[in-house]
């Protein structure tokens, strides 16, 4: 895990945190970086590559304000909570020619996230880029060799840590999912500061997870309680009527307020949670601290299973925009 501002590594055998120098690019076979986790296992920590660390130090955090807020509708009824109005505080419309590194950090590792995943996350344009007004996270079957470590598949994972960190808000992501067995896109959040300790004492918020061979169904989940393996999780799923999440873009939204979270698909509320707990502090801990966004396209692993002969590569997860609102 990442504790405070210091990156940590976890070995594949011990999972013990090992301090790494900030800003040093970690070799692919070094046991470090952040990523998705099995519901029963902690996520692996992340150390910034030189490219990401430089962006953190020299680029301002991107706060998108008034001009975009006006263009973006003053928040229409389909995306607005019935309780109150929200104001836009941060966004990425992916309207430029390249990914904005003042907004996103890009992972570079082959660790599998503790889930037996098969991909090597890279920062190549082949795997992560902006094109035609969308963020493209692309999984390829290309036997990628990263500093001596070879993985059959390559893909991408990005995060907003130290560029976009929030305590409470409404988070909206308009995205289109790929189809195919073994594909595992996710849009989720981890604590920026780990105030209550390692995973899952400080919590995890899964806005949406999806399996490529179950294309009309998504899930939203919270992880909390005690440290792994004594952690617990709770959540629910949503099945899209008639169509699938690969047919078109859909808006995945989370409203996170003090003591309550609500999940929406295309403006439709499908679950509310308020009964989580923490082994370290009273409710609403651990979900009363800053969290940041992560978006990734994993390949294989315990939950989705591995690709088979029917899975088509390259496979793309497309993101039209990300918008964060607060009261």
- Where in the sequence numbering do the catalytic residues fall? 204, 209
Enter the tokens of residue 1.
Answer: 């895990």
DSSP, collapsed to helix, strand or coil, labels residue 90 as strand
Quote the CA–CA distance of 148 and 312 in Å, as a whole number: 26
C-alpha of 283 from chain center: 24
Residue ranges with strand state E in the chain: 8-10, 17-19, 87-92, 105-106, 119-121, 128-131, 134-146, 149-155, 157-159, 165-166, 169-176, 183-191, 204-210, 217-225, 231-239, 250-257, 260-265, 268-273, 291-299, 315-326
Quote the CA–CA distance of 6 and 9 in Å, as a whole number: 10
With CA atoms as reference, report the closest residue to 206 among 38, 14, 15.
Answer: 38
Q: Is the dihedral of CA 20, 24, 29, 34 positive or negative?
A: positive
H/E stretch holding 66 reads: helix 66-71
Task: For tokens 């801990």, name the residue.
Answer: 285
Cβ atoms of residues 274 and 287 within 8 Å: no
Say if residue 25 is exposed, middle or buried (CB neighbours under 10 Å; 0-12, 13-18, 19+): middle
Q: Is the dihedral of CA 16, 4, 39, 9 positive or negative?
A: negative
């Amino acid at each position: 895990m990442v504790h405070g501002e210091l990156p940590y590594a976890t070995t594949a055998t011990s999972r013990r945190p090992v301090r790494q120098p900030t800003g040093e690019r970690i070799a692919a076979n070094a046991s470090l970086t952040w990523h998705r986790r099995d519901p029963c296992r902690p996520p692996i920590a992340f150390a910034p590559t030189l490219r990401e660390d430089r962006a953190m130090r020299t680029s301002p955090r991107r706060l998108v304000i008034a001009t975009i807020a006006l263009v973006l509708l003053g928040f229409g009824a389909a995306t607005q909570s019935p309780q109150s109005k929200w104001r836009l505080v941060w966004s990425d419309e992916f309207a430029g020619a390249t990914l904005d590194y003042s907004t996103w950090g890009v992972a570079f590792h082959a660790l599998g996230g503790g889930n037996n995943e098969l991909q090597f996350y890279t920062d190549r344009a082949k795997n992560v880029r902006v094109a035609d007004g969308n963020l493209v996270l692309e999984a390829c079957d290309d036997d990628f060799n990263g500093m001596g470590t070879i993985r059959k598949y390559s893909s991408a994972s990005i995060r907003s840590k130290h560029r976009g960190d929030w305590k409470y808000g409404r988070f909206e992501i308009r995205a289109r999912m790929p189809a195919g067995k073994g594909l595992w896109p996710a849009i989720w959040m981890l604590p920026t500061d780990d105030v209550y300790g390692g995973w899952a004492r400080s919590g995890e918020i899964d806005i949406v997870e999806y399996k490529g061979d179950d294309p009309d169904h998504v899930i939203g989940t919270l992880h909390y309680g005690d440290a792994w393996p004594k952690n617990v999780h709770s959540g629910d799923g949503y099945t899209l009527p008639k169509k699938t999440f690969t047919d078109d873009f859909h808006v995945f939204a989370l409203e996170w307020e003090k003591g309550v979270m609500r999940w929406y698909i295309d403006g439709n509320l499908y679950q509310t949670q308020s009964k989580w707990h923490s082994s370290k502090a009273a409710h609403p801990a651990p979900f009363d601290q800053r969290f940041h966004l992560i978006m990734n396209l994993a390949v294989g692993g315990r939950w989705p299973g591995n690709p088979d002969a029917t899975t088509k590569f390259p496979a793309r997860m497309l993101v039209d925009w990300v918008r964060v609102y607060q009261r």
